[in-house]
Amino acid sequence: MKFSIEWLKYFLDTDATVQEIADTLNAIGHEVEGIENPADTLAGFKVAEVLTASPHPDADKLQVLSVSTGEGDPLQVVCGAPNARAGMKGVLGLAGAVVPANGMELRKSKIRGVESNGMMCSVRELELGEEHDGIIELPADAPTGADFAEYHAASPIMDVAITPNRPDCMGVMGIARDLAAAGLGTFKPIEVSPVAGEGACPVEIRTDDAEGCPAFYGRVIRGVSNGASPEWMQRRLKAAGQRPISALVDCTNYLMLAFGRPAHVYDLAKLNGPVVARRAQDGEQIEALNEKSYTLDSTMTVIADDTGVHDIGGIMGGEHSSAQADTADVLLEIAYFDPAQIGVTGRKLGLATDARSRFERGVDPEFLDDGLAILTDLVLKTCGGTPTEVVRAGEPPVEGKVVTFDPAMTAKLGGVEVAEDRQRAILTALDFEVAQDWTVTCPPRRHDIEGPADLVEEVVRIEGLDKVASVPLTRAPGVAKPTATPQQKLERRVRRAAAGRGLHEAVTWSFLPVPEAEHFADGAQLWVLDNPISEDLKAMRPSLLPGLLTAAKRASDRGAAGARLFEIGRRYFRGEGGHSDERATLGLVLAGEKTPRGWANGKAQGFDAYDAKAEALALLEAAGAPVDNLMVMPVLSPAEGGEAGSQFHPGQSATLRLGPKKVLARFGALHPNTLKAFDIDGPVVAAEIFLDAIPAKKNAGFARAVFSPPALQPVMRDFAFLVDSSLPAGDLVKAAKGADKQAITDARIFDRFDGQGVPQGKTSLALEVTLQPGEKSFTDEELKAISQAIVTAAEKLGAELRA
């Protein structure tokens, strides 16, 4: 919630600095997320008087002004505003000032050959409103030469995060009350005087839904003039991030932001018959103020008349009966809605509004009469008119909760010794009634107070959370037992290995736009949220790759030549019976340049599928997977009985498996359609390692075998085989390793050749085999036997030893 310090001081008499206010808010549980000072953006802008105005010699629509800032000689300024004239006062941006609207730094310059020493500014250019047809016109008594920020009373603005349990602080007055209780000033309660009405209200008001709307108050005001709201009101609304709309609408928004009390104004001419709070009928529709239509059901409370629904109760009004520029007579509505029902309705409709956020947390049920009186007074002062008497339908739940409190609990639960008199003073300052026997009556607006522990929290936060001593938890003597699970240990090893290989860890959202999630779902059932934080974060991710691709694109858009990203997280699917199925996964994306251009390699080199394979194998090995036993198999679509869809390029991707069905990873170049869906240029390779599929080690002991290096040097033997071009090289390596598992410790491909001397459809693969002797060196006969075993194993794959 945003508010200006000037607005806060309307309710709080204090000399505290902005920083002291921020520190106190943080100390009592209201986190300050930011502080803005509009005066900083208006530095370099002065109140100036136009002395003379003459036509520009070379431009019909420009004038040359002589402008006084009260110091030194007048300045010459070229201006194109139609309202610029001699004798007026406006705002002059001097050389060096930065225009808030576009970030342009003003400088002395020549405009069509005439020197200009600054700029006369419009409302929009200073971000004070939307008007831009002319420059700002200030009153004649505006002090020439004054800093415009000081003249405009630009007050610092605070952005405070209000926790869901404190709806009483969702208005500036509630914030002021808390600060006063913390000793930062004196609370200035508003003296509300009932506004007398002339005659009975011509509209019947009633509530037919006592559960959803226990109380519904209203009155009519005739003869209003709905123009612009006063400058002081617009200034405070803008500080709160609220765009001024019209005087009538601004009055209701002011009431909500100042006092935490939403209200609504109807155009009386557009109402027909009694105005009733009732349950909607299934299928009823309303066009809301956001210009969207909503279909309602019988669980929702609405405000309606004989023609239909005019308001989704406590959430958003309707477009049809909203106040317009020509509105002459209005009906003011202020009601109390059931918080739980407001929350259910808002989630069903997917509507998040300022009114809903307050009603579903619980507004002050005692503030209906006072709120209506304040709103009536605001409307009369800004729009004029004649009010009728107030109509009250129903009764709000105004009984305060009574809690039996023991002040000794503060030390026991809160860990702070606070004198009883001090505790009584704190609770009284927060508007609790404390009897002599410590029976505490809570104000009805404090919906969060349920028992003595909540009162302890109130005392401790006002006394100071910094006074709670840091006390370590008791610990049994001896060495602490390990608490990390095998899965956590595995993820730590893989994370370290990925970082050690030069990959950068990313943390992306667990939610995705539905189209992106469906692109990677491979036919699996997605989890789609009914009440997402935004429409772009609606589906739980079925893959880690979409988030990494978005991060890689963001890096590329900002000029990064390449991206090597990985993330360890969870994929989410709907399991059987609607249960959540979460799977631990590592995703990695390699995009852009693998090596930059240079004299040695010429052009920049990009990543290919083999780079993704190498990373996948290295990380699987770090995770303890039996990489020597892995099979490289194609990526099959679900229609082919496989596990992956069309995200990868069919000719440049594969899976790593333990057996035909157990997939440990998939890797390769991404399909052009996938890159197009994410608006990424250039080839991108990726891999996903399914950590939950890696088999646990059978040896559960902690002892590690003693390392004893072999006494004899290994022996290398090279072989060259002619194989079918379609044969995976890995199959040949695996066959060679299996020829003699005791003597052969390693085998690798070191050359591949297609060319002259190699028959059509064949490929020459050169294999280096490592033989490790044991207690004695190999004899020639043993080496021949091992070599023959390797050749025989290769021949079973159709390979032929080259001469």
Mean pLDDT in residue range 723-747: 90
Q: Model confidence at 701, in pLDDT bands (50, 70, 90)?
A: low
Other beta carbons within 10 Å of 581? 14
Average pLDDT, the chain: 90
Convert the pLDDT of each residue in 372-384 to its tens digit: 999 999 999 999 9
Residue where the block lists tokens 């943080």? 26
Predicted local confidence at residue 294, as pLDDT: 93
Q: Which residue intervals of 260-353 are DSSP H helices?
A: 339-349
Q: Which residue intervals of 193-285 are DSSP H helices?
A: 231-239, 247-259
**Residue 610: φ, ψ to 5°:** -70, -30
Q: Report DSSP letters for 106-129, one per residue.
A: P--EEETTEEE-SEE-BTTTTTS-
Mean pLDDT in residue range 603-610: 90
The closest alpha carbon to 592, from 506, 496, 675, 505, belongs to 675
Predicted local confidence at residue 637, as pLDDT: 53
The β-bridge partners of 35 are 158
Q: Model confidence at 642, in pLDDT bands (50, 70, 90)?
A: very low
Question: In the chain, what percentage of residues exceed pLDDT 90?
Answer: 67
- What the block records as the tokens of 76 is 């010459």
Q: Please return the burial class of 265, using the count of CB atoms within 10 Å of its CB with bins 0-12, 13-18 and 19+.
A: buried
Q: Which residue has the higher pLDDT, 794 or 711?
A: 794
Q: Model confidence at 632, in pLDDT bands (50, 70, 90)?
A: confident
Other beta carbons within 10 Å of 25? 21
Convert the pLDDT of each residue in 284-341 to its tens digit: 999 999 989 999 999 999 999 999 999 999 999 999 899 999 999 999 999 999 999 9
Alpha carbons 123 and 234: distance in angstroms, whole number: 13
Convert the pLDDT of each residue in 222-277 to its tens digit: 999 998 899 899 889 988 988 889 999 999 999 999 999 999 999 999 999 999 99
CA distances (Å), origin 426, targets 32, 52, 185, 469:
22, 62, 14, 20
* Dihedral angle of Cα 649, 653, 654, 656, to the nearest 10 degrees: -130
The closest alpha carbon to 93, from 157, 149, 153, belongs to 149
- Of 40-54, 376-390, 699-713, 734-748, least confident by mean pLDDT is 699-713
pLDDT over 80 (residue 803): no
Q: Give, as one character, the DSSP assignment of residue 351.
A: -
**Residue 132: φ, ψ to 5°:** -150, 15
- Reduce the DSSP state of residue 17 to 3 states and report it: coil
Domains and CATH numbers, the chain: 2-37+156-187 (3.30.56.10), 40-151 (2.40.50.140), 205-394 (3.50.40.10), 402-463 (3.30.56.10), 486-693 (3.30.930.10), 715-801 (3.30.70.380)
Alpha carbons 663 and 654: distance in angstroms, whole number: 10
* Dihedral angle of Cα 366, 372, 375, 377, to the nearest 10 degrees: -110
pLDDT over 90 (residue 483): no
pLDDT over 80 (residue 477): no
Q: Model confidence at 640, in pLDDT bands (50, 70, 90)?
A: very low
Convert the pLDDT of each residue in 114-156 to its tens digit: 999 999 999 888 887 777 789 999 998 899 999 898 887 778 8
Mean pLDDT in residue range 442-458: 93
- What the block records as the tokens of 688 is 């996903």
The β-bridge partners of 590 are 564, 685
Q: Which residues contact 734 (CB under 8 A, 6 or more apart)?
A: 628
Q: Model confidence at 508, in pLDDT bands (50, 70, 90)?
A: very high
- Of 76-90, 202-216, 374-388, 688-702, least confident by mean pLDDT is 688-702
The β-bridge partners of 567 are 587
pLDDT over 90 (residue 172): yes
Q: Model confidence at 629, in pLDDT bands (50, 70, 90)?
A: confident
Say if strands 562-574 and 504-505 run parallel, antiparallel, or are unpaired: parallel
How many helices and strands in the chain, by DSSP H and E? 20, 41
Q: Is the pTM of this model over 0.85?
A: no
The closest alpha carbon to 745, from 737, 753, 755, belongs to 737
Residue where the block lists tokens 């003869």? 223
Q: Model confidence at 639, in pLDDT bands (50, 70, 90)?
A: very low
Mutual angle of helices 247-259 and 231-239, in 10-degree steps: 50
Catalogue the E-assigned strands of 176-214.
186-187, 205-207
- Total residues belonging to the chain: 803
